[in-house]
Amino acid sequence: MKVSQSIITIMTLALVMPFGNAYDPSPLQDFCVAVNNLNNGVFVNGKFCKDPKQAKAEDFFYSGLNMAGNTDNKVKSNVTTVNVDQIPGLNTMGISLVRIDYAPYGQNPPHTHPRGTEILVLIEGTLYVGFVSSNQDNNRLFAKILHPGDVFVFPIGMIHFQVNVGKTPAVAFAGLSSQNAGVITIADTVFGSNPPINPEVLAQAFQLDINVVKDLEAKFKN
């Protein structure tokens, strides 16, 4: 009797556990084109989806990545994003794309993507790129000098950066494993939050004079 009960228990667990851990890593339909009309959509992955029968080629199309972005700014770089907001057909697909332009000595400053891994290919110029691992991995720096045709991967959630170390403009394209990977620029987030973080907190955290922190907050104020 005890053996039979054990067998039944094991069989029950074998049947229940897969359902308890199951998830859908991929869409369960051909596509789910995002739409802003709440009356004619179904809410999926943060967007409302139009009736598939109304989908058209334009829902999966974007034009303009052949054009350089404006790098006339403080960091001397520009990121042109192509995610679900630009291509509605990307909804639920788990992928997006960016073009990054760098003026000479420009940079894409330290930042992180909370929802996606990034794979970058350099088309023109020379970049110094890298990411820093987590505290449990002792914050190791993984960095390389890239030349045209080189590829580098930035794991999801890791703080990373790219710097143009050449005297000419640089261009890179990157794919991200999310329809909207998000971006958190470290300096802007820490010193430019709204409302500001108490300067005393940041002074202790970064081991800086409080006046230096106040100056940084003034510079990064939204």
And the tokens for 144? Answer: 């390389």
3-state secondary structure at position 167: coil
Q: Is 140 helix (H, G, I), strand (E, B) or coil?
A: coil
Residue 160 assigned as binding residue: yes
The annotation status of 217 as a binding-site residue, yes or no, is no
Q: How far is CA 146 from the centre of its chain?
A: 20
Identify whether the C-beta of residue 120 lies closer than 8 Å to the C-beta of residue 154: yes
Per-residue HEC secondary structure of 22-71 comes to CCCCCCCCCCCCEECCHHHCEEECCEEECCHHHCCHHHHCCCCCCCCCCC
The answer to whether 147 is a known ligand-binding residue is no
- The reply, when asked if residue 118 is annotated as ligand binding, is yes
Nearest to 46 by CA among 218, 178, 160: 178
AA identity, residue 39: N
Helix (H, G, I), strand (E, B), or coil: what is residue 151?
A: strand
Please enumerate, by residue number, every residue annotated as part of a binding site for oxalate. 108, 113, 118
Please enumerate, by residue number, every residue annotated as part of a binding site for Mn(2+). 111, 113, 118, 160
Please enumerate, by residue number, every residue annotated as part of a binding site. 108, 111, 113, 118, 160
